[in-house]
Chain A
């Protein structure tokens, strides 16, 4: 090969041949590169399509697992099989891509060598153009350069401004720095679960109405029809009131304006499809489709239904998540209400009998619905609601069922203590006061247990146990000084909390009234709601002294909520707000 610098007329043809060879080499390299690149791109697209399809399948299986926990093992096996299949496919794609990359690199090298080589035969000789006005050109260039630099700065600023578009989040602002879960102070100002803070049924506000009449509308601030029935109780947070309702066709969560009674939104909860060979759930009329009371953490509301369907909505009614825990094996239908501890949603999911090992206490992350922990419980199906008691030794989740009363550590679900002291169909919710938790065995027994024990405390920490008539539905109430229990037929008993000494016994029902709603305490006054909708207001100490009877004019099963000088009562059809303002509403 001759150097182009030394071309003579005789060498032109030879140089031309070399040039053609170089161009041909470059061309071959280019064509091969394009083919290989096309194959690599095709392979990549194939891989992405495969990956997307696989991700969708995996996501469906994940949803299936949360909806069908009983089939978890089979679904996990399916996931593993799919995963193996996917990995094999992906490795094939990667191998193809790697081989293609080497080929592409080689072919591009050939192309570059060819084109560079060809360039050496066609090098242009420098041919400077006539030069005029160097000074003016320099001035022009300087001016343009200044504009160019300024434009670059402007462009950078514009890009930053574009990136700054969007919500401005100030972490130091009050709202943003709020706790992710409500503080005990906030909880105490609201009524966030069945029977309010700690499930105690005690109103923080002692300035509650003591006189109203549903027929005349006196003292009734508003009355709103509840679209779908349910035996659950109202829950109030700020100016929002929540209820749930259900029938064979629908499961709903309702949000009302607590100030006006306006129905703000209705959340639909999708029922999980039945599994093959699964019997449809049979719901007893007394229990209904929506017996469990909802709960809220101040930002979201959670609801569970007799079918095991669980749902979370935010305060605007947007569905956050939903899942099905499996149809509960429960003779009267699932009725335990929900409880919150910090970000954890606590579900006492007791099923079957003591031997069936189906019962468990589940803690879900309230935000995502993810299971944080779950503890198996050696108990039979129950209808009681767990409470989180603030004991001297720290918070404890206290649960009551047949035969064990068990306390758990809320963060981990570790069992703290257990006492074997109950039997039968346990529905009343435990209460806690002054280092004692009070639980009820239906019809026969009230038990007080010290909460500072560890392990099995049956023989060591039962403070007292009284074999006296006890309620099968209504939960007890107490303030550390006394414990008051109310049987469904109206037989009321009051004990000294410290030693169980009976202070008095009174037949409040007198054969006329029966009770399903649990009693509440406002200051030193009891509020007892009969099934007929009559609220009996009475002094509890030193002896029972009835102060007033207020008729609502509608039957009631749910326990009322007491918030900010108002009483919210759910009748079988309507929701009532009772306040002290001298306003009346048409009955």
Chain B
């Protein structure tokens, strides 16, 4: 029998195949190496004195292909191990150790690149740009956590993601964020994902990489603004569990939806919930759902009316947000270098700004017609108008579905880990008396 989860896996694989086909995927290793050693965009001067120019610094340094495959192997091993530790061994301590390893390896050793979060953009760009080839290792980084999430829940978030690990480590005094507030904050993650896809598809920017708040820590260097943003996330993370993962991570958005369909997932209790309420405050990420009483008849009728209204509102929201998204094309398209340059040239030509920039001077040195640049920029804006419709429509759908979802009454008799929001960190295990009983039985059996 075909399960819905299988359809999702198949979709993800097809998306990757599209990326492969459209992006001349799978360059031979030597071709990749040749890309690394390809001529520089601005050839350095030829010194008559015999001076040898040192190689250009790059962070992270280009690596040989073999190491990229090793990274994939490590990722796969870490995902398998995390799944085992979360679902079978149910050991927070072991998960913690794996988390520290992932932070050291994928974070500080590999400098946070490639990561599955940023790989979203590579995949999207390779679909929209036929000249962009996405390496098979990047595809693997993108796909493996998705597949594991479909089977085992968010084990990638629990102990493999270095961004999650660094936030988890600094969580010292957890303060719970009310569910209603968390619902609102999570909208930003969807918006971030939508914008990242839009900018990647138009070849404007890799937004996720550019504003990765923790990569500067991993590389022990970086843009000051990003360092400050990262530091802010860590300071907030002292009290609020994994703020980036929960409210901003675009990959987390995908993982949330896949996790709802996962074959196996984290349970607080190893067998049955006895309703002792000891786990109620165990989760610093607000991912434990309490049992819910039945609504009164009056509330039920009122709730039904609200729900009906929200369902009717859904297409209106999609259309309105799509329309608004297209209207903002002038703002979003500024991420594209051609539009930025055209606007600068326009302002210079109109005398509305003083002086020139390196980019505008370089453009003028080409002798290219300004109106050609304007035409090109108009074309890019046209792409953003279409992208704005899609992004706005997507956000309208997200908002509409969220409004509907929070208004639905769900009967629940046990304490459960939230299917989408549970990060499989294993903190709740030890709060459950049934788990303690299981462990003591296990100890006795061993002894």
Take A144-B180, A145-B184, A168-B330 as given contacts and tell me if A101 and B346 are in contact as well, using a CB distance cutoff of 8 Å.
Answer: no
Is B365's CB under 8 angstroms from A365's CB? Answer: yes
Taking the closest CB of chain B, its distance from the CB of A199, in whole angstroms, is 23
Interface residues of B in 283-306 (CB under 8 A from A): 290-296, 299, 303
Is B180's CB under 8 angstroms from A141's CB? Answer: yes
Take A105-B220, A126-B279 as given contacts and tell me if A148 and B180 are in contact as well, using a CB distance cutoff of 8 Å.
Answer: yes
Is the C-beta of A1 less than 8 angstroms from some C-beta in chain B? no
Is the C-beta of B185 less than 8 angstroms from some C-beta in chain A? yes
User: Given the complex of chains A and B, what is the CA–CA distance between A177 and B369 in angstroms?
Assistant: 10
Is B221's CB under 8 angstroms from A97's CB? Answer: yes
Q: Chain A 129-162 against B: per-residue CB contact (8 Å), 1 yes, 0 no? A: 0010011101101111111111111001100100
User: Given the complex of chains A and B, what is the CA–CA distance between A368 and B281 in angstroms?
Assistant: 65
Interface residues of A in 263-310 (CB under 8 A from B): 299
Residue of B nearest to A177 (CB): B371
Is the C-beta of A163 less than 8 angstroms from some C-beta in chain B? yes
Taking the closest CB of chain B, its distance from the CB of A409, in whole angstroms, is 13
Taking the closest CB of chain A, its distance from the CB of B407, in whole angstroms, is 5
Prevailing SS type, chain B contact patch: helix
Is the C-beta of A585 less than 8 angstroms from some C-beta in chain B? no
Residues of B within 8 A of A96 (CB): none
Take A164-B331, A171-B374 as given contacts and tell me if A370 and B361 are in contact as well, using a CB distance cutoff of 8 Å.
Answer: yes
Is the C-beta of B342 less than 8 angstroms from some C-beta in chain A? yes
Is B367's CB under 8 angstroms from A139's CB? Answer: no
Is the C-beta of B399 less than 8 angstroms from some C-beta in chain A? yes
Interface residues of B in 5-21 (CB under 8 A from A): none
Is A152's CB under 8 angstroms from B187's CB? Answer: yes
Taking the closest CB of chain A, its distance from the CB of B48, in whole angstroms, is 15
Is the C-beta of B280 less than 8 angstroms from some C-beta in chain A? yes
Is B294's CB under 8 angstroms from A135's CB? Answer: yes
Residues of A within 8 A of B346 (CB): 169, 171, 176
Interface residues of A in 164-218 (CB under 8 A from B): 164, 167-169, 171-172, 176-180
Is B370's CB under 8 angstroms from A138's CB? Answer: no
Is B356's CB under 8 angstroms from A367's CB? Answer: yes
Interface residues of A in 96-123 (CB under 8 A from B): 97-98, 101-102, 105, 112, 115-116, 119
Q: Chain A 494-531 against B: per-residue CB contact (8 Å), 1 yes, 0 no? A: 00000000000000000000000000000000000000
Is the C-beta of B260 less than 8 angstroms from some C-beta in chain A? no
Is A169's CB under 8 angstroms from B343's CB? Answer: yes
Is A145's CB under 8 angstroms from B180's CB? Answer: yes
Q: Chain B 354-369 against A: per-residue CB contact (8 Å), 1 yes, 0 no? A: 0010000100110101
Residues of A within 8 A of B169 (CB): 112, 116
Is the C-beta of B73 less than 8 angstroms from some C-beta in chain A? no
Is B184's CB under 8 angstroms from A152's CB? Answer: yes
Among listed B80-88, B198-206, B375-383, interface-contacting one: B375-383
User: Given the complex of chains A and B, what is the CA–CA distance between A153 and B184 in angstroms?
Assistant: 8
Q: Chain A 336-349 against B: per-residue CB contact (8 Å), 1 yes, 0 no? A: 00000011000000
User: Given the complex of chains A and B, what is the CA–CA distance between A141 and B277 in angstroms?
Assistant: 20
Is the C-beta of A331 less than 8 angstroms from some C-beta in chain B? no
User: Given the complex of chains A and B, what is the CA–CA distance between A55 and B118 in angstroms?
Assistant: 35
Is the C-beta of A21 less than 8 angstroms from some C-beta in chain B? no
Is the C-beta of B347 less than 8 angstroms from some C-beta in chain A? yes
Is A177's CB under 8 angstroms from B431's CB? Answer: no
Is the C-beta of B46 less than 8 angstroms from some C-beta in chain A? no
Is the C-beta of B27 less than 8 angstroms from some C-beta in chain A? no
Residues of A within 8 A of B239 (CB): none
Is the C-beta of B69 less than 8 angstroms from some C-beta in chain A? no
Taking the closest CB of chain B, its distance from the CB of A62, in whole angstroms, is 13
Which of A44, A119, A126, A343 meets B364, CB within 8 Å?
A: A343
Residues of A within 8 A of B295 (CB): 135, 138-139
Residues of A within 8 A of B220 (CB): 98, 101-102, 105
Residue of A nearest to B332 (CB): A160
Is the C-beta of A260 less than 8 angstroms from some C-beta in chain B? no
Residues of A within 8 A of B292 (CB): 134-135, 138
Is A126's CB under 8 angstroms from B184's CB? Answer: no
User: Given the complex of chains A and B, what is the CA–CA distance between A437 and B188 in angstroms?
Assistant: 70
Is A318's CB under 8 angstroms from B351's CB? Answer: yes
Residues of A within 8 A of B431 (CB): 126
Q: How many residues of A contact B (CB 8 A)?
A: 58
Residues of B within 8 A of A156 (CB): 187-188, 191, 395
Is B367's CB under 8 angstroms from A167's CB? Answer: no
Is A134's CB under 8 angstroms from B331's CB? Answer: no
User: Given the complex of chains A and B, what is the CA–CA distance between A142 and B295 in angstroms?
Assistant: 13
Is the C-beta of A542 less than 8 angstroms from some C-beta in chain B? no
Is B185's CB under 8 angstroms from A152's CB? Answer: yes
User: Given the complex of chains A and B, what is the CA–CA distance between A151 and B188 in angstroms?
Assistant: 11
Is B375's CB under 8 angstroms from A128's CB? Answer: no
Taking the closest CB of chain B, its distance from the CB of A496, in whole angstroms, is 40
Q: Chain B 110-121 against A: per-residue CB contact (8 Å), 1 yes, 0 no? A: 000000000000
Which of A139, A152, A172, A316 meets B378, CB within 8 Å?
A: A172
Residue of B nearest to A128 (CB): B277
User: Given the complex of chains A and B, what is the CA–CA distance between A404 and B211 in angstroms?
Assistant: 61
Is the C-beta of B132 less than 8 angstroms from some C-beta in chain A? no
User: Given the complex of chains A and B, what is the CA–CA distance between A141 and B351 in angstroms?
Assistant: 54
Is the C-beta of A314 less than 8 angstroms from some C-beta in chain B? yes
Taking the closest CB of chain B, its distance from the CB of A37, in whole angstroms, is 10
Take A145-B183, A148-B181, A167-B347 as given contacts and tell me if A367 and B364 are in contact as well, using a CB distance cutoff of 8 Å.
Answer: yes
Q: Chain A 319-330 against B: per-residue CB contact (8 Å), 1 yes, 0 no? A: 000000000000
Is the C-beta of A84 less than 8 angstroms from some C-beta in chain B? no
Is the C-beta of B172 less than 8 angstroms from some C-beta in chain A? yes
Is A134's CB under 8 angstroms from B369's CB? Answer: no
Is the C-beta of B50 less than 8 angstroms from some C-beta in chain A? no
Is A148's CB under 8 angstroms from B183's CB? Answer: yes
Residues of B within 8 A of A144 (CB): 178, 180-181
Q: Chain B 212-231 against A: per-residue CB contact (8 Å), 1 yes, 0 no? A: 00000000110010000000
Residues of B within 8 A of A98 (CB): 220-221
Q: Which of B169, B331, B361, B375 has most A Cβ within 10 Å? A: B331
Is the C-beta of A411 less than 8 angstroms from some C-beta in chain B? yes
Which of B170, B184, B348, B365 meets A149, CB within 8 Å?
A: B184
Residues of B within 8 A of A343 (CB): 364, 367
Taking the closest CB of chain A, its distance from the CB of B221, in whole angstroms, is 7
Is A126's CB under 8 angstroms from B378's CB? Answer: no
Is A149's CB under 8 angstroms from B183's CB? Answer: yes
Taking the closest CB of chain A, its distance from the CB of B206, in whole angstroms, is 20
Residue of B nearest to A98 (CB): B220
Is B221's CB under 8 angstroms from A101's CB? Answer: yes
Take A160-B328, A171-B375, A318-B351 as given contacts and tell me if A372 and B365 are in contact as well, using a CB distance cutoff of 8 Å.
Answer: yes
Take A142-B407, A164-B328, A171-B375 as given contacts and tell me if A368 and B356 are in contact as well, using a CB distance cutoff of 8 Å.
Answer: yes
Residues of B within 8 A of A119 (CB): 172
Residues of B within 8 A of A164 (CB): 328, 330-331
Interface residues of B in 158-185 (CB under 8 A from A): 169-170, 172, 178-181, 183-185
Taking the closest CB of chain A, its distance from the CB of B244, in whole angstroms, is 16
Q: Which of A102, A149, A178 has most B Cβ within 10 Å? A: A149
Residues of B within 8 A of A318 (CB): 351
Take A119-B172, A138-B292, A168-B330 as given contacts and tell me if A126 and B281 are in contact as well, using a CB distance cutoff of 8 Å.
Answer: yes
Excluding A148-B183, A179-B369, A370-B361, 6 further A-B contacts by CB distance (< 8 Å) are A141-B406, A142-B407, A153-B187, A176-B374, A177-B371, A367-B348
Supply 20 A–B pairs (Cβ within 8 Å), ascending by A.
A97-B221, A102-B220, A105-B108, A112-B169, A116-B172, A126-B279, A126-B282, A135-B293, A135-B299, A141-B406, A148-B184, A152-B185, A153-B187, A167-B347, A168-B330, A169-B343, A171-B378, A367-B356, A368-B361, A370-B361
Enumerate chain B interface residues (CB-CB to A < 8 A): 108, 169-170, 172, 178-181, 183-185, 187-188, 191, 220-221, 224, 277-282, 290-296, 299, 303, 321, 324, 328, 330-331, 342-343, 346-349, 351-352, 356, 361, 364-365, 367, 369-371, 374-375, 377-378, 381, 395, 399, 402-403, 406-407, 409, 431
Closest 9 CB pairs of A and B: A148-B184, A144-B180, A180-B370, A101-B220, A152-B187, A171-B374, A145-B406, A145-B180, A128-B277
